[in-house]
Amino acid sequence: MSDTFYLGIDSGATTSKIAAVRADGSIFPSDLLQRPTGSEGGPEGVIKAWMGAIADYMAEHGMDWDQISGVGLAVPGPRRSYGVLATGPNLPESFDGWDVQHDLLEALREAAGRPLSLALGNDGNMGGVAEAHSAIGNDKAGVVMLAPGSGLGGAYIDPTGMCLDGDTLAGMEISHMAAPLHLLNVEALTCGCGRTWGCFEMYTSLAGLPYLLDLALPRHPGHSLADPTLGKKERVLKLRGLAQDGDALALELFDLQAKAMGLLVAQLTMTLDPSCFVIGGGLIDPEATTETFRDRYLGLIKSTALEYVWPTQKDVLRIIPASLGEQSQAIGAALVARLVVQSSPN
């Protein structure tokens, strides 16, 4: 095998994933490989776990270090500076101030027998890079990735394929922008971030569903979710299944989330002027939702957004579902590593 590869690491709090892309940017086809992150062993344990996962991946696919031109790392949470972690919700406080760039570069140099380029970035941004690459290929266009889940992640990828990090590495924190509550006809919910102005995250993701459900139940007397023996989490987890069966309450809530997403799409379209939005999260997962539900959700996002964007933007705006699943962030890390190496002067 004479191909050149770029490796990507997606580091989560409990598991890490490995993926690769070729020198031409094509995604190397592979099954999902994930291993424990090893955060209980501190930074040294995490480095050991990452290098072990890389070794397993390379052995599985017959790669050697001579073929590796660079590595990318997707990490969650805030950073003090490039390559240096800050305290976040996903790792113990002992990781605050860890210079992960230095330690991982040293481990890679030892394994490869030569210095390797290392690119680091936020995991949501890296996922956006991969989904943008999948959506537009070699076309030159701006892409926004929106991923509602337990919270709301977002990334902007410019026409060169690079993500917006911002001057303090906190760019595209779109989940905590204020939603236009008068258009949603809902009250301002206090977000987990502490803001009280009605963060978009509370109206688009799992974070706000318990509160939105409590507000909606009085409009649906006798609904099964009003059962006092059900816990809040249990009630919310039943909503997606009920929506697939056409339940009016569940559809009302997910329609509200779709409208909120559409308003966010409109705001970001006027701010960043991308021509493509990629929507991720469980609501567009073919294994978790029906085609009818997904069409309804994505359709309402687009119809809401089109009410507010500029006329010239209406003609080009695309809203499509994400396609790479759990591998997106590792693939994105590998793609960013490739872009960094190939754009660097020799």
- pLDDT digit string (tens) for 204-244? 999 999 999 999 999 999 999 999 999 989 999 999 999 99
Q: Are strands 33-36 and 15-22 parallel, antiparallel or unpaired?
A: antiparallel
pLDDT of 263 above 80: yes
Quick one: pLDDT band at residue 345, thresholds 50, 70, 90? confident
pLDDT tens track for 110-140: 999 999 999 999 898 999 999 999 999 888 9
Using CA atoms, how far apart are residues 246 and 230, in angstroms rounded to an integer?
Answer: 21
What pLDDT does 1 receive?
45
What pLDDT does 89 receive?
65
Provide the percentage of residues in the chain whose pLDDT is more than 70.
99
What pLDDT does 79 receive?
86
Q: Do domains 5-121 and 128-325 have the same CATH topology?
A: yes
Provide DSSP, 63-122. Answer: --GGGEEEEEEEE-S-EEETTEE---SSS-GGGTT-BHHHHHHHHHHHHHTS--EEEEEE
Phi and psi dihedrals of 158, rounded to 5?
-80, 175
Contact 72, 120 (CB under 8 A): yes
Provide the percentage of residues in the chain whose pLDDT is more than 90.
86
Token duo for residue 253: 């809530």
Least confident of 156-160, 165-169, 173-177: 165-169
Q: What is the CATH number of domain 128-325?
A: 3.30.420.40
Burial code (b: 16+ CB inside 10 Å, e: under 16) for 109-134 equals eeeeeeebbbbbbbbbbbbbbbbbbb
Mean pLDDT of 154-174: 91
pLDDT of 101 above 90: yes
- Amino acid identity at 125: N
Using CA atoms, how far apart are residues 83 and 174, in angstroms rounded to an integer?
Answer: 22
Task: Please report, for residues 46, 90, 128, 204, 312, the alpha-carbon distance to residue 104 in angstroms, rounded to integers and kept in the order given.
Answer: 10, 19, 23, 36, 46
| Coil/strand/helix, residue 60 | helix
pLDDT of 191 above 50: yes
Mean pLDDT computed over every residue of the chain: 94
Q: Angle between the 42-60 and 100-112 helix axes, to the nearest 10 degrees?
A: 40
Using CA atoms, how far apart are residues 342 and 92, in angstroms rounded to an integer?
Answer: 35
The domain ranges of the chain are 5-121, 128-325
Token duo for residue 53: 């996962």
pLDDT tens track for 268-323: 999 999 999 999 999 999 989 999 999 999 999 999 999 999 999 999 999 999 99
Helices (H), the chain: 42-60, 100-112, 123-136, 181-184, 201-204, 209-216, 232-244, 248-272, 291-306, 311-314, 328-343
Neighbours of 3 (CB within 10 A): 12
Q: Are strands 68-75 and 276-279 parallel, antiparallel or unpaired?
A: unpaired
Fold type of domain 5-121: Nucleotidyltransferase; domain 5 (3.30.420)
Task: Please report, for residues 38, 41, 211, 332, the alpha-carbon distance to residue 283 in angstroms, rounded to integers and kept in the order given.
Answer: 30, 35, 19, 22
What pLDDT does 346 receive?
63
Contact 276, 140 (CB under 8 A): no
